[in-house]
Chains A and B, each alone.
Chain A
Amino acid sequence: MTPPGTDLLRLEGLRKYFPIRNVWKRRIGWLKAVDDVSLTVEKGEILGVVGESGCGKSTLGKTVMGIHPPTGGRIVFEGNDITDLKPHQSRDLRRDLQYTYQDPGASLDPRWKIGKSLDEPLVIHTGLGAAARRERVSDILSAVGLPESHLDLYPHEISGGQQRRVGLARILTLQPTLVVLDEPTSGLDVSVQATVLNLFLDLQKQFDLTYVFISHDLSVVRMICDRVAVMYLGKVVELGATERIFGAPRHPYTRSLLSAIPQIGKQRITESFWLEGEPPDPGNLPSGCRFRTRCPLAAPQCEGEVPPLVEHLPGHADACLFSDRAVPGA
């Protein structure tokens, strides 16, 4: 077992490129969904991965899980390199490393009752008998706050928030150490979202879990994460403790992202938002810093080299050459 505070998961220069093909299936380029990402996840923490659609945050989660084979780099989990494991070798690993899909309604089999969906991982990964499995399932079900009667329902008979609880119960039956939550609150109403978030926090304490929390919703990330990685077009542009990222963001992209969140009672973004333009085509990235085409601080130096992720302050890294400067107009 890994003691708390040490690295549970370490990514070293992780890359995942997807080929872009023309109509004759000839490769005409690469879509760099995850490009040279290095970070660590400590035992017991919640690491938030935030960014807008297409920034590669889901691909990052799936590559860590082995759903996508990485193009380059290394994934080290509990001290073991798991980058190039064969499927049969990774089976034991799957128990410790789990992934929840964005849409639990779509990832539950519509023709299976909830009970059967919860039972399946135990059949695959453990040698438990039917009675022991049933006991484990009902324990987990009460942990996620669902009544026993739900075991006999089909996925379409329960609400979105409950489907999410089932999705979570399904992976917790295996008692994993690291859970990758991919957009766990998207599509939920705020009153339901709040109860689901509290559930995540309770379960984390109860089962001693570590989460990688992938989300585009910054206000949720701020509430529950210990550290945050901000991604833009496949790169981590800023990484640090949640209070630092939200209190004193340094990378101009992070600053623009934070100023775009509606905040009740604060200045309205319709009066203050300053970022123009849209992200460039991910298949045809600008040279150097990928944010330079929209960045108000952009200078000729930004076109040359890709700025590395550097710890300008202890525990707070950013990938910008001019992150000390103020953004004009902000």
Chain B
Amino acid sequence: MDDLLTVSDLEVGFQTDRGLARVLDRVNFHAGRGEIVGLVGESGCGKTTLARAILGVLPENSARISAGVIDFDGRDLLAEDPQALATEVRGRQITFVPQDPFSSFNPVFTIGAQIEELMKWKSPESEPGAAGRFYPRARRRSDRARVLELLRTVQLPDPDGILKKYPHEVSGGQRQRLMIAMALLPEPQLIIADEPTTALDVTIQAQILKLLKRLATERGVSVLFTTHDLGTAYEICDRITVMYAGQEVESAPSDDFFAAPRHPYTKRLLESLPSREHGISGIPGQIPALIDPPAGCRFHPRCANASARCAAARPGVTQTGPAHRVRCHHPVDAAREAVP
């Protein structure tokens, strides 16, 4: 598949009081056109930092991008003029669905006013950069029709009425539907959804996942879906990349990934999920501090398969199957593991 987004050897650090925290350590990542890619990892693994780096919204005063390339549709997002990216790419080619639909609306404006503001700047009919200061009446009318149609598509009851409401007057599930609608309105090529269902109840989560999957497939939009929940990733993703302590450790097509995880961390993570078959088993130890991470493979202090080589050298990428890549010196042998 021809890739829409390729991140290669990206290094991001955060300046803290106690030194530089190396939050992303030469991370590689890619997303194909129309593909839903899950970026999975526990808190502090760097998944949100990667999502923000792609979006270009890392905090300017503390984040340092020291190396790497983010290639999006043939453009190098780290080398280009930030102003051009802000008008042409961010919010237009790449849009964002936040984790928390509660704090992502401005409480003092109606939902309609906030969507209108979005369309004034980022409507697919508008000229990048030229728009904003004034909003031609004809375009305002056609944009409104487009908004109403999309609100119906995301199954919001009474789209006209909802535009007149304030954010606190609609439920969490509806707010997340609105967020998805707003992410789709500029007709982007890539949606970055940062834990979009974490704040929702399971039945609402199921509805939102179903909706996101359907819309992304229908419209051929790529989705970068970050989550800490492997179950959610299973539901929606075509391919899954797992991160641990700032390094990507495994990447594989969803079916292959869940059937035969190859990285010891991934395997233990899957076993941590409560299930009937293997009881409850956690991963001993703790996530390392990123100020002074372990040398070599960052997982080696907690890994049962670790050898001296793991502490000395950072493992390279091993191709263990078609499109299945794992960063480990001793990948789990699926065939051998299957026979107890």
Contact = CB atoms under 8 A, between A and B. Distances in A.
Interface string A277-295: 0100000000000000000
B234 A268 contact: yes
A194 interface: yes
B273 A257 contact: no
A323 interface: no
Contact of B232 (A219, A220, A262, A273): A262
Interface residues of A, number: 35
Contacts, number: 103
A174 interface: no
B137 to A, nearest CB: 36
B115 interface: no
A190 B234 contact: no
Contacts of B279: 223
Given A219-B273, A268-B235, A192 B206 contact: no
B173 A194 contact: no
Main secondary structure of the interface of B (DSSP, over half): helix
Contacts of B232: 262
B272 A194 contact: yes
Interface residues of B, number: 40
A216 interface: yes
Contacts of A257: 202-203
Interface in B238-286: 258, 268-270, 272-276, 279-284, 286
A273 B272 CA distance: 25
A189 interface: yes
A195 interface: yes
Contacts of A198: 280, 282
A7 interface: no
A219 B230 CA distance: 13
A220 B232 CA distance: 15
B272 A261 contact: no
A264 B230 contact: yes
B236 A260 contact: no
A163 B253 CA distance: 37
B228 interface: yes
Given A197-B280, A264-B231, A190 B202 contact: no
A6 interface: no
A261 B202 contact: yes
B191 to A, nearest CB: 16
Nearest to B302: A191
Contacts of B230: 190, 264
B204 A278 contact: yes
Interface in B192-250: 201-207, 209-210, 213-214, 228-232, 234-236
Contacts of A194: 272, 274, 280-283
Interface string B273-304: 11110011111101000000000000000000
Give 10 closest A-B pairs by Cβ, nearest first.
Answer: A262-B231, A194-B282, A195-B282, A52-B201, A191-B283, A260-B206, A189-B42, A223-B274, A273-B206, A260-B202
11 contacts: A190-B269, A190-B273, A191-B269, A197-B274, A198-B282, A222-B276, A257-B202, A263-B231, A265-B234, A273-B210, A278-B173
